[in-house]
Amino acid sequence: MPWFDDLKTPKIKSQDSERTSKVPEGLWVKCVKCGEILQSKVLKENFFVCPECDHHGRMSAVDRIASLCDEGQFQEYAEELISIDPLEFDDVKPYKTRLISANQATGLKDAFVSGKAVLKGLPYHLGVFEFKFMGGSMGVVVGEKVSLVFEHALQDRLPAVIVSSSGGARMQEGILSLMQMAKTSALISKLRRASIPYISVLADPTTGGVAASFAMLGDVILAEPGALIGFAGPRVIEQTIRQTLPPGFQRSEFLLEHGFVDRIVHRRDLGFELREWMCRLGSHACQF
> pLDDT grade, residue 5 (50/70/90)?
very low
Task: With a cut of 50, say whether residue 8 has pLDDT above it.
Answer: no
Burial of residue 260, with CB atoms counted within 10 A of its CB: 0-12 exposed, 13-18 middle, 19 or more buried: middle
**pLDDT (mean) for 58-87:** 96
CA dist., res. 147 & res. 185, Å (int): 9
In sequence order, what are the residues at sequence separation of 6 or more whose Cβ sits closer than 8 angstroms to the Cβ of residue 20?
none
Give tens-digit pLDDT for 206-234: 999 999 999 999 999 999 999 999 999 88
Query: Comparing 103 with 288, which gets the higher pLDDT?
Result: 103
pLDDT of residue 25: 62
Distance of CA 198 to the CA centre of its chain: 17
Task: With a cut of 70, say whether residue 3 has pLDDT above it.
Answer: no
CA dist., res. 223 & res. 276, Å (int): 15
pLDDT of residue 136: 98
Task: With a cut of 50, say whether residue 92 has pLDDT above it.
Answer: yes
**pTM value?**
0.88
Query: Comparing 27 with 119, which gets the higher pLDDT?
Result: 119
**pLDDT (mean) for 16-32:** 63
How large a percentage of the chain has pLDDT more than 90? 85
> pLDDT grade, residue 283 (50/70/90)?
low
Give tens-digit pLDDT for 138-197: 999 999 999 999 999 999 999 999 999 999 999 999 999 999 999 999 999 999 999 999
* Strand, helix or coil for residue 125: strand
Strands (DSSP E) contained in 175-265 are 198-206, 220-223, 263-264
Instruction: Tally the C-alpha atoms within 13 A of residue 103's C-alpha that lie toward its C-beta.
Output: 14
With beta carbons less than 8 A apart as the criterion, state whether 222 and 202 touch. Answer: yes
Closest CA to 123 of 268, 283, 274, 286: 286
pLDDT of residue 1: 47
Task: With a cut of 60, say whether residue 123 has pLDDT above it.
Answer: yes
Task: With a cut of 90, say whether residue 16 has pLDDT above it.
Answer: no
Task: Return phi, psi of residue 177, to 5°.
Answer: -75, -40
Burial of residue 271, with CB atoms counted within 10 A of its CB: 0-12 exposed, 13-18 middle, 19 or more buried: middle
Q: What is the CA angle 24-27-31, rounded to 5? A: 145
Instruction: Tally the C-alpha atoms within 13 A of residue 43's C-alpha that lie toward its C-beta.
Output: 23
